[in-house]
Structure 1
Amino acid sequence: MAGLDTGTQPVVTPLDAALVKAVGDFCRWCAGAGLPVVRGWTNAVSRPPGAHIVVTPFSATWHATTSRSYDPGEDGRGRVTVARSMSRRVQVDFYGPDAQAQAQAVATLAQDMTGCDFFRPYDLTPLTVTDPQELTGMAGNEQAEPRWMLELELQPGPEFSGVTVELDFFDNVNLGLHPQA
């Protein structure tokens, strides 16, 4: 039987970190400032006791083909940025006696212009929200643990959807005709 791997953690991209922070801040704003928010899918991290929220980024969906933008830079050493429009799904789990009301508040406000306004400074736009689902289960000592879950789909802005590489190119061409011999 394999042991618990406490020495490794998943790779957290800048986008994943921004998603967890933004969604966690939004949930606290909607459902209660004192709620602990933890990132899902981390090894050797216990859930907080009592009411809390777990934010887990997962799937990505591409929405378009790539686009390119060029910056010629100095001395022919420029950059090309290749971007592709995408969205990310984030699962949000609410635990505790008020989990249903908290999930409903977050789902309602995320579908409103309020959600768009809240996520704008994070360079994210909410696209869709699922209806909250009850996933109450048994915890230790045969006690029911209230849990409600929803999924948010967020579209990151250009800061998160592009890759920039250096590229040799020129923007000043001197052409001329040479007589044929």
Structure 2
Amino acid sequence: MPSDRQILTRRAVLGGLLLAAALAASSRTAAAAPATAGLYLHPSPIPLPPLDMRDGDGKPVGLEPLHGQAILLNLWASWCAPCVAELPALDRMKPLLARNRLAVVALALDRGGAATARATFARLGIQSLDIRTGDPRSLTEMLGARVLPITLLIDRRGDEIGRVIGAVDWEGPGAARLLAALAEGRPLTADMAPTIAGARR
């Protein structure tokens, strides 16, 4: 039977682990805190937690199969007009970016799940993007998505290195440098900020 000292030591270790987890969660929230449109680069890469995403048939599908590729993880919802506005460009770009090992994933944060995402894709004529859904509440909290749309910039190791808040002109010249650097694994810099639709400059 463990002594009182051993029990206290175990409790201290457990308390320390819980505190570390809380601090890690708060640092992610702090990193994701900005809510105004623009490009935000993290001081250091943030490991992404496993994401409970589902495909159009409701089967689990994560980002793990894309390991080794850079990823644009676009968070959207059907009720968000700016989100819907940028989907056709992401759809057109997906096969082009895939040639440079830059994957495009559009994750719907709709309560209607796959049915709502499928209806939106059909209305827009989306052909290349795959349906990806998940629990809006847990994913919003986990990813620090205070506003939509948000696009997470994920490096080849699976770490979030920055994010773009707002609907982006992904096919414009402003986004080209950002996408090329992300695909090639080069450092991202503030001057690579893409044009945000409706943002005043």
Structure with the higher helix share, 1 or 2: 2
Judge same fold: TM > 0.5, yes or no.
no
TM-score, normalized by length of structure 1?
0.27
Structure with the higher strand share, 1 or 2: 1
- Higher RCO structure (Cα 8 Å, ≥6 apart): 2
TM-score, normalized by length of structure 2?
0.25
